[in-house]
Structure formats: structure tokens, C-alpha cells
Amino acid sequence: MARYESVLESIGGTPLIRLTRVAEGLLPRIYVKPEWQNPGGSVKDRAALAMLRRAEADGSLRPGGTVVEVTSGNTGIGLAIAAAHLGYRAVIFTSSVIAQEKRDQLAAYGAELRLVDAFVPRAHPDSLPSQGERYAAETPGAWLAQQYDNPANPAAHYASTGPEIWDDTDGAVTHFVATVGTGGTISGTGRYLKEVSGGRVRVIGADPITSKYSGGDGSQKYIEGAGHFVHPETTLDEWPRALDLDVIDDYVPVEDQRAIDAIRGLARTEGILAGGSSGVALAAAFQIAGRLTADDTVVVLLPDSGRTYLSTYYNDSWLAAGGFTAPGSPARAEGPAVGDYATATPLVERDESVAEAVRRLAADGVADDDAVLVAHPRAGRVLAPHPSDIVGWTTPARLRGAAAVAETVRPVGPRLGIGLALTDPAVTAWDGTEGALALVLDRGRVTGTVTWRALHREPVHALPEQAV
């Protein structure tokens, strides 16, 4: 058994585990690399330590300094561990949307959490990145890790993750599958594997279906850490400098429900509990494996553990609230469900011409008093809107004669999963004062609305399932 002189020395050296039951019927050998075996519980430990060590070497971080980062959690945890061991203060900027388990871990390592939930473009002074950058600039001795643009991020994986995969497969790896977040993991690992194999290894980017990386519309997704979201008011879409686009041979878009199904199935068939972004990578790997032969070896990087997401992807109530389903569970409650009382609701964009919106709604047979959802503009929508894209609601009657769509908007009420029973606490807690309309979610997307009054009378009809 290995012996280490510090926790930092134990970073890296994660194993490969072959999938058998869940991969039954697929010809290639499929191995997963469980990165939660790093001390901080994720692949981000590698980049966190490499970035910190480089900052020490170039003088950006000095004794007694403060480590600052903007993160969805895992990089912050890796930095918090290193900071605790080396005697630095750690201040982590993140969102309350991240799993509670991640927030608790950050606090346990002594990091100071700054929660920022402003829904604004990245360049806005109130945005999460802007606030982190401002804090670092105004704090003496502070160093901002900047994982998205830090060259030490991909370098860490070129030096460790890539060689580990090559050595542990005896050079037999033919396909490497990983999600794309900052781009560091797939870029550094992929570049090493391509170089050492003479270009033989194919590098596959597993990506949420709405992510800009694989050509999506940039709308929000429910899987933490993977993909590239773009705020609808963003004018300049900047991609991470840690991402080497030339390394990735192909992208496989994955819908949130498929990712959730993949990790739930992995836990129940292989006994491997993996996080949400692991599900994106797994679903992509299973898709490409169907086209491969018995001569191929696929390695799938699993970024973190499912222990961090027991309150979300592995929680049936959380899934139901977002309109998702758990494997083996019915899509809807046995009795009356929210979807039975909901109606499909037309959509107009906030910046749309009022005259054009009124004309289009009339042509579609929308009555003057019918509810119409107002959304942030987003070109080429891949799915129904994410709740964060909904501004509010209006009616054709209110639109008619208005100067702008935005001035007619009223707030919406809660978000209710399409399959929630009418007795569910999320439904009964809504007393109708929080907004006249609630958003109805199918697999996380807004497919219709329901009124408080409708929930107290006979069903209207069941909403059709969203198309993917």
C-alpha cells in the first residue's frame, strides 16, 4: 500500500474499473476512471494543486496570501484542501444552486463562501465572475485561480491523467470520453493520449444538449459542471482559454434525463455511485460504443462521486419537482397530477415586436385572455425553455396597444414538475398569491403552465411530452 507524507501527495493515481453489467451487449471494453478517489472527491484536485503550485512558483501567491476562485464547487474544494494544508486563506465564490453537499464540504475545509445568485451576463458587475475578480483585485495578497483560463489546468492532466490512462491500459486505449467544462481535463488528457499514440486515440467531448460547445442554444441545464451556458443578454461569448478545440475529435450531446438515467443505472448495476457530469460522459460513451468493435477500448472519466448529489440526482422528490423521472418509477403520480391540469402555453420573446407578437398569436388562434409566456430571446432553441429563460407572462389583450412586450409582463408562480401529485408539498404550498400561473416542467424544461384555480377543478388535459 502506498504511503504519503501529505494529503497533497495523494492526488492522482486513480484506477480504471471495467464496466460489465451496464455495458452488456456492447462490443468494446469500457473502463471508467473514478476521479472521486482523489482526496477532495473530484478530478479538480489535480488542476487545483497544479494552479496553486504554479502561483507559488511565479510569486502570484505568497505566504499568508488568500486563494480566491469562482467555481461550481469541485475546484473550490480542491483549492480549499490545498490552502488548508499549506496555510492559506480560501475565499470561494459560488452559487446557492450548487449541491448543498458541496457547500458543506467547502465550509468544512475552512473556506469562506460568497454566494452570488445574480442572473446577469458575465460582464455585468454583479455577476459571479465579476464579483470574484473584484474581490481578488481589492484584497491585498489575494490570488485568483481563474481555472477557465489558467494554463496549469490542462497541464496538470497532460502530466498525470493522460499518462495514467495510457499506462493502465498498456497503450490499448482507443477512445477517451470526458465532459467539457473549463476544458482543462479533456484538453490536457486528450493531447497527451493523441501524442503518445501517434494520433490513434479518438477524443470525445460529452456535452449537455444545450451547451454551446456542441452547438446548443446555450440555455441552462441541470447537470453541474459540464457544458457552456450563455446568459441571454450576453453580447460577447468568450470560451475558456484552457480549452484546446483541436484536441476534440467529436462531440456527443446528452439530454439531462439521459445523464441522470446513466448514473442511476450505474449505481444499481455496477455498484458505482457517480455524479451528474459523469452521467453525461457515460451516456455519450454508451452511444459511441454502439458503433465500435471488440478491438476498441473506451476510457470514460468520471469527474466526481454521487455522494455529492444525494439531495439532487439521487433524490426522487428532487427529480419529480423538476419533471424528471427515476429509473423504474412511473413518470407521473398514480392519482391526479399537475400535468393533468396544465395547458400548453405559447411563447413570445421579451424583445419581440409587439405588433409581430400580436399578429403571430392571433394567427395561432390564441384568445385575448389566454396566458402567454414571455422569455428572454435565445436563437435556435434546442428544447423548450429552461425556467431561467422565462421572464414572466402576459396576454394578447395586454400586448395590444403596448409599446413593448416587457412592460406587459407579470411574474410567474412556482415551478411544478409535470408528474407531481396534487397532494405533493410543492403543490399544496402554493396558495395562489405567489403568481397566478405556475410553470410546469417536463424533464426540466417549461412545457406549459397551470393556474391555482385549475388545480382545484377537473383536469383540462395532459400536456404532451416535450420533444428532444
439 and 413 in one domain?
yes
**End position of a domain, from candidates 112, 144, 176:** 144
Residue 168 sits in the same domain as residue 300: yes
CB-based contacts of 312, cutoff 8 Å, min separation 6: 99, 276, 318
| Residue-range definition of the domain harbouring residue 221 | 7-38+152-316
In angstroms, rounded to a whole number, what is the distance separating the alpha carbons of residues 131 and 146?
13
Cα–Cα distance measured from residue 328 to residue 265, given in angstroms and rounded to the nearest whole number: 10
Could you say which of 33, 44, 194, 221 is catalytic? 44
pLDDT value of position 468: 43
Q: How many domains does the chain have?
A: 3
pLDDT of residue 122: 86
Say yes or no: 28 and 48 in one domain.
no
Spatial CA neighbour of 305 closest among 16, 43, 18: 43
| 306 & 357 share domain | no
Query: For 297, phi and psi rounded to 5 degrees?
Result: -130, 120
Asked whether residue 281 falls in the same domain as residue 239, the answer is: yes
Final residue before a domain boundary, out of 92, 111, 144: 144
Rounded CA separation 438/452 (Å): 8
Measure the CA–CA gap between 189 and 209, rounded to whole angstroms.
23
Q: Is there a catalytic annotation at residue 44?
A: yes
Euclidean distance between CA atoms 238 and 358, whole angstroms? 35
Domain boundary among 126, 144, 162: 144
Residue 468 lies in a domain: no
* CATH (domain of 183): 3.40.50.1100
Does residue 218 lie in a domain region? yes
Mean pLDDT by 10 residues, the chain (468 residues): 92 98 96 98 98 98 97 94 98 89 94 91 91 97 97 98 98 98 97 98 98 96 92 88 97 98 97 98 98 98 96 95 86 82 95 95 95 94 94 96 94 95 92 82 96 77 55
- Interior CA angle at 44 toward 148 and 56, to 5°? 75
Strand partners, 114: 93
The answer on 433 and 284 residing in a single domain is: no
**Measured between alpha carbons, how far is 448 from 453 in angstroms, rounded to an integer?**
15
Decide if 225 contacts 274 (C-beta within 8 A): no
Secondary structure of residue 314 in the 3-state scheme: coil
Interatomic CA distance for residues 441 and 463, integer angstroms:
10
> Residue 467 has what pLDDT?
47
Looking at residue 432, its pLDDT comes to 76
> What's the pLDDT at 462?
54
